């Protein structure tokens, strides 16, 4: 093979996957003898992992031009074994705009997290194994989204589940890490088994494993076996996306894993589940024109949104709280994707991207706090903004983004989701979709509330004595967070560019299933759809930025000019301070409001709901397995009725 042939961009998808698996291999070989640098023996391996992830990202970025902008679909047959007698006999990669969109997200998150890992993992033992598993996890997820073969998807799902479970338990001394890993393994394994069962049942009906060929054969030929297969596959991918009722696993796994891995579990693994659901519903079965399927996805998305945000409000561990928020945001993505309009899909994918960026940033900030203080308990932390100003600023960018404060990226995508669901409600005259808009708005408010609580109890307030000597984290970690923060701001200020280059081509690819089938060499008589991304309202980020600046300026003027001193006014008066705003109930007005107490009134009024939810999430693995089985049973019954 000559060089010109090897640098043909059609090979780049397989290079991007191979470089990660090769990286895993090279790291494990490099770990055979101790490196010369005693101060940092894991250094060389960290750089190998960084190079592998960086190269992988490079290959995928090179694909933006042909796939995203020119709309080409790369069909790549391994070993050039293509189609014989009308059946796919080889294993294929098929990269359309949707695959590439998810692959880019994944590669970016993996690369940034690798930068962060270099300094973050210095104090751990077994670091070589960490990087082996890290590369395997990255390769598994990338293989999943680029694959054009459903059995290959299953194999990649298993690889990423194993790597994720092992990495969850990596810090075995961390409170609950082993337990979280075991629960994740049991329910994750049930999910993988469901995917395999669904796959093999499709094979029994259609004698092919190729996604494009399945997509050309399945629609219109549904029988009970294929409906059963659909239910199994759907539940399988749901466990990977951690949507309700699988959210407790996410909370356990995110909380126990090292922060650099939480970024991958939250930003990357959940996306692979969402990708699987999109491929399943829009491509393989093409059932999304049914109202009942739209209802199912939107309903589960809305439930995930609301349940997880309320669960997050009741948490007092930094990372566990972030984990619940993570699934809440995945609920947004699922609900938007389930709307089945081009605008909805585009909005959902945009939010998926933003979620990877801001949630990655927040988890890395939580990791920075853990790295310096050794705890993530909200009740013990406080006042770190004086000691870690850069981390605080970066955290606030992430918090504003996730809460949907303009002009950060969370606002842009949530705004699109509100518009898409509102538009859908207007088009279909269905009040249910309007309820989605309202739930999304309420969830956004609750998200903001809980991040006010986090920033108050971690970064502001009084600094506990034991953290007097806390320092800012090393530059490498701040660099990783800085990259994500810059991306958060850029994707928020230029939403039209981002949607134009990334999400709209992906949404077009979702709408144009016929192209996906014919690109692989199979026959399709699906019409080319009309795609429109017109929004009801207008979104001008520059105006919002100006408004934000004016508001901040006004606030500063009031604060500086007023010099309103609350303390002196209260002196001498024996008022009951308990019921005053913003104070925690102690007599001492300087006392810091405890991490869990900021919304004590709200929590008191909702105590029955919170108690009920707390008891429901019992932490017993049998219960979570039962939820999985019940979800599977419900899915089977629902599919039998509606499909």
Partner 1 sequence: MIQFNYIAAFFLIVLGFYTIVTKYNLVKTVIGMSVMDYGVNLLIITIGYTPGGTAPIFTAGELTQASYFVDPIPQALTLTSIVIGACVTAMSMSLVIRLHESYGTLDTREIRRLRG
Q: Which residues bind partner 1 (CB under 8 A)?
A: 151, 155, 158, 162, 165-166, 169, 172, 175-176, 178-182, 185-186, 189-190, 192-193, 196-197, 200-201, 203-204, 207, 209, 251-252, 255-256, 314-315, 320, 613-614, 617-622, 625-626, 629
CB of 429 to partner 1, least distance (A): 41
Choice between 102 and 154, CB closer to partner 1: 154
CB of 308 to partner 1, least distance (A): 13
Q: Which residues pair with 77 in a beta bridge?
A: 92
> Are 249 and 176 within 8 A, CB to CB?
no
CB of 359 to partner 1, least distance (A): 20
Choice between 531 and 625, CB closer to partner 1: 625
CB of 217 to partner 1, least distance (A): 16
Choice between 314 and 417, CB closer to partner 1: 314
Choice between 320 and 351, CB closer to partner 1: 320
CB of 572 to partner 1, least distance (A): 43
CB of 636 to partner 1, least distance (A): 12
CB of 355 to partner 1, least distance (A): 23
Q: State the Cα torsion 62-65-71-77 to the nearest 10°.
A: -20
> Are 246 and 627 within 8 A, CB to CB?
yes
CB of 321 to partner 1, least distance (A): 12
Per-residue buried b or exposed e for 59-71, using 16+ beta carbons within 10 Å of the residue's own CB: bbeebbebbbeee
CB of 188 to partner 1, least distance (A): 9
Choice between 92 and 166, CB closer to partner 1: 166
Choice between 67 and 454, CB closer to partner 1: 454
**Chain Cα centroid distance, residue 258:** 16
Task: Return the structure tokens found at 194.
Answer: 């469901």
Compute the distance between CA of residue 64 and CA of residue 74 in angstroms, rounded to an integer: 12
149's torsion region: left (phi>0), alpha (psi -120 to 50) or beta?
beta
Angle value at C-alpha 331, between 328 and 332, nearest 5 degrees = 100
Residue (of 591, 586, 565, 566) closest to 576 by Cα position: 586
Compute the distance between CA of residue 139 and CA of residue 17 in angstroms, rounded to an integer: 5
Choice between 501 and 613, CB closer to partner 1: 613
Choice between 73 and 190, CB closer to partner 1: 190
Task: Return the structure tokens found at 626.
Answer: 């039962």
Choice between 67 and 321, CB closer to partner 1: 321
Q: Give how far Cα 181 sits from Cα of 161, 250, 256, 278, Å.
A: 10, 10, 8, 27
Place of tokens 């579990």: 265
CB of 79 to partner 1, least distance (A): 15
Give 56's contacts (C-beta < 8 A, 6+ positions apart).
15, 16, 17, 19, 20, 107, 110, 111, 138, 142
Task: Return the structure tokens found at 487.
Answer: 């991306």
DSSP 280: I
Choice between 26 and 159, CB closer to partner 1: 159
CB of 199 to partner 1, least distance (A): 8
Burial class of residue 285 in the structure, from the number of CB atoms within 10 Å of its CB (0-12 exposed, 13-18 middle, 19+ buried): buried
Q: What is the 3-state secondary structure (H, E, C) of 151-169?
A: HHHHHHHHHHHHHHHHHHC
Q: How would DSSP label each residue in 350-414? A: HHHHHHHHHHHHHHHHHHHHHHHHS--BTTT---TTTT-HHHHHHHHHHHHHHHT-TTSHHHHHH
Choice between 65 and 207, CB closer to partner 1: 207
CB of 89 to partner 1, least distance (A): 9
Choice between 525 and 622, CB closer to partner 1: 622
Compute the distance between CA of residue 342 and CA of residue 512 in angstroms, rounded to an integer: 11
CB of 625 to partner 1, least distance (A): 5
Choice between 181 and 333, CB closer to partner 1: 181
For the chain, give the longest Cα–Cα distance.
Answer: 93
Where is 94: in which H helix or E strand? Answer: strand 92-95
CB of 19 to partner 1, least distance (A): 23
Where is 545: in which H helix or E strand? Answer: helix 541-562
Choice between 185 and 397, CB closer to partner 1: 185
Compute the distance between CA of residue 100 and CA of residue 248 in angstroms, rounded to an integer: 30
> Are 144 and 240 within 8 A, CB to CB?
no
């Amino acid at each position: 093979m000559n060089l010109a042939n090897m640098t043909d961009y059609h090979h780049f998808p397989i290079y991007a996957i191979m470089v990660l698996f090769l990286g895993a291999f090279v790291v494990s070989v490099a770990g055979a003898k101790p490196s010369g640098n005693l101060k940092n023996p894991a250094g060389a391996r960290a750089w190998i992992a960084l190079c592998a992830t960086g190269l992988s990202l490079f290959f995928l970025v090179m694909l933006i031009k042909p796939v995203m902008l020119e709309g080409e679909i790369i069909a790549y047959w391994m070993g050039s074994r293509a189609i014989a007698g009308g059946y796919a006999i080889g294993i294929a990669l098929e990269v359309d705009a949707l695959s590439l969109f998810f692959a880019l997200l994944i590669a970016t998150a993996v690369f940034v997290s690798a930068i962060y890992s270099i300094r973050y993992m210095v104090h751990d033992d077994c670091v070589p194994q960490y990087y082996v598993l890290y590369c395997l996890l990255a390769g598994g997820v990338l293989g999943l989204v680029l694959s054009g073969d459903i059995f290959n998807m299953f194999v990649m799902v298993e690889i990423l589940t194993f790597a994720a479970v092992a990495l969850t338990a990596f810090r075995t001394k961390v409170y609950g890490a082993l337990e979280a890993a075991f629960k994740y393994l049991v329910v994750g394994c049930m999910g993988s088994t469901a995917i395999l069962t669904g796959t093999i049942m499709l094979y029994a009906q259609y004698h092919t494993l190729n996604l494009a060929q399945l997509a050309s054969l399945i629609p219109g030929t549904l029988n009970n076996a294929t409906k059963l297969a659909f239910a199994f596959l759907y539940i399988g991918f749901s466990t990977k996306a951690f949507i309700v009722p699988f959210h407790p696993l996410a909370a356990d796994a995110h909380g126990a894993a090292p922060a650099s891995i939480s970024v991958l579990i939250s930003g990357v693994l959940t996306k692979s589940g969402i990708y699987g659901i999109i491929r399943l519903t829009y491509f393989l079965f093409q059932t999304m024109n049914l109202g009942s399927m739209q209802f199912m996805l939107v309903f589960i998305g809305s439930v995930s949104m609301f349940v997880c945000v309320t669960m997050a409000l009741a948490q007092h561990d930094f990372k566990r709280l972030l984990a619940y928020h993570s699934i809440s945001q995945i609920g947004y993505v699922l609900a938007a994707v389930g709307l089945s309009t081009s605008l909805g899909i585009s909005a959902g994918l945009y939010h998926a991207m933003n979620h990877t960026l801001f949630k990655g940033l927040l988890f890395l900030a939580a990791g920075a706090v853990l790295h310096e203080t050794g705890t993530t308990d909200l009740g013990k932390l406080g006042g770190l903004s004086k000691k870690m100003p850069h981390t605080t600023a970066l955290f606030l960018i992430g918090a504003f983004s996730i809460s949907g404060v303009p002009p950060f990226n969370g606002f842009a995508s949530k705004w699109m989701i509100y518009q898409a669901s509102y538009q859908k409600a207007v088009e279909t005259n269905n009040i249910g979709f309007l309820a989605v808009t309202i739930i999304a708005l309420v969830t956004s408010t609750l998200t903001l509330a809980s991040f006010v609580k986090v920033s108050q109890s971690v970064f502001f307030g009084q600094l506990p004595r034991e953290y007097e000597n806390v320092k800012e984290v090393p530059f490498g970690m701040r660099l990783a967070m800085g990259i994500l923060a810059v991306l958060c701001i850029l994707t928020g200020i230029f939403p039209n560019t981002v949607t134009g280059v990334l999400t709209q081509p992906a949404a077009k690819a979702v709408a144009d299933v016929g192209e996906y089938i014919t690109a692989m060499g199979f026959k399709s008589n699906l019409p080319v759809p009309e795609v429109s991304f017109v929004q009801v309202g207008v979104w001008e980020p520059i105006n919002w930025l100006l408004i934000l600046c004016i508001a901040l300026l006004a606030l500063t003027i009031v604060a500086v000019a007023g010099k309103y001193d609350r303390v002196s006014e209260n002196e001498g008066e024996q008022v009951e301070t308990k019921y005053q705003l913003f104070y925690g109930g102690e007599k001492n007005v300087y006392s810091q409001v405890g991490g869990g107490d900021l919304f004590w009134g709200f929590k008191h009024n909702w105590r029955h709901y919170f108690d009920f939810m707390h008891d429901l999430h019992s932490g017993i693995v049998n219960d979570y397995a039962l939820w999985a089985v019940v979800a599977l049973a419900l899915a089977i019954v629902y599919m039998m009725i509606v499909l």
